[in-house]
Amino acid sequence: MNIYQIHSIGKLIEGNSYVGRGLVIGRSADGKKACTAYFIMGRSANSRNRIFVKKNDVLYTEPFDASKVVDPSLIIYAALRRNGNRLIVTNGDQTDTIDIFLNEGGSFASALETRSFEPDKPNYTPRISGMLTFADGGFTYEMSILKSADAEGTACNRQHFSYAALPGLGHFLHTYVCDGNPIPSFQGEPERVAIPDDIDAFTDELWNALDADNKISLYVRYTNLEDGSEEDRLINKNK
C-alpha cells in the first residue's frame, strides 16, 4: 500500500451514489494556483431544492423554489467567505462561527471546538470545514471534521488536519462513505487527490463523477498565488 498515492478525484467518486457534501483544497500541478472546491448532494426533496449563489464574494446556498422549503436550518448557509488573507469553506453555518472567531483573535481549530455534528438523527451528518491561509506568495491549509462518537450521538469527535501546500496535491473531505440508512460518516484522513493546472479540467472531472440523480451544485475557485487574481466556476443542476 502506497500511503503517498495521489488519486484521481473522478475515480474516487465514480460509481458511489452518495458521498454527501464534499470539499477539496490543494495546489495546482504547476504550483502557481490554490484550488478550493465545494459541492452538495441531496436525497430528499428539501435537500435537492437548492442552488449556489455568489454575492459579494460570498458563496451561499439558497432555495431554488422558496415555496417548497420545509426546513432551512441545515441546508441554507454561507459556504465560502473570505477573512483577510484567509478563505473559509464549510458545509454549514460554522463558516460564520470561524469568521467570528478569527475576527476576535481566535483560530480555525478553537472555533470548531465550540461546534458539533449536525443534529439530524440518525445520520448525525458530520460538519466538514477547511481554511486556506495565504502568505508570502504561497499558502497553507487546514481541514476539520466533527462527527458523532457513537450511533446515539452522545458525544462529538473533532479531528483537525494541517497541510503544507504541495504542487499537484489536494485533500478531499466528504461527509459520507456511501449511501445507507443511516448513512455512514466519513472515516480516516482526507483523501489525497490530484489538482490539475486547468480549472475546467478539474471542474468537469468532479461534476461528471458525481451521481447524476443526487448531485445538486458545485463551486470551484483557483487563486493565482503570484497576483491574487481568481478564476471560478459555478454549476447548479437546478437552473
Domain that holds residue 21: 9-46+115-236
In DSSP terms, which residues pair with 81 in a beta bridge? 88
Give the separation between CA 11 and CA 209, rounded to whole angstroms: 7
What would the grid cell of residue 52 be? 449556489
Q: What is the CATH number of the domain that holds 149?
A: 3.60.20
Residue 142 lies inside a defined structural domain of this protein = yes
Does residue 58 form part of some domain? no
Number of domains making up the chain = 1
106: Cα within 13 Å, side-chain hemisphere: 16
The enclosing H or E element of 95 equals helix 94-103
75 within some domain:
no
pTM to 2 decimal places? 0.96
Q: Does the residue 110 lie in any domain?
A: no
Q: Is 30 part of a structural domain of the chain?
A: yes
pLDDT in tens for each of the 239 residues of the chain? 788 999 999 999 999 999 999 999 999 999 999 999 999 999 988 889 999 999 999 999 999 998 888 888 778 899 999 999 999 999 999 999 999 999 999 999 999 999 999 999 999 999 999 999 999 999 999 999 999 999 999 999 999 999 999 999 999 999 999 999 999 999 999 999 999 999 999 999 999 999 999 999 999 999 999 999 999 999 999 98
Confirm whether 33 is domain-assigned. yes
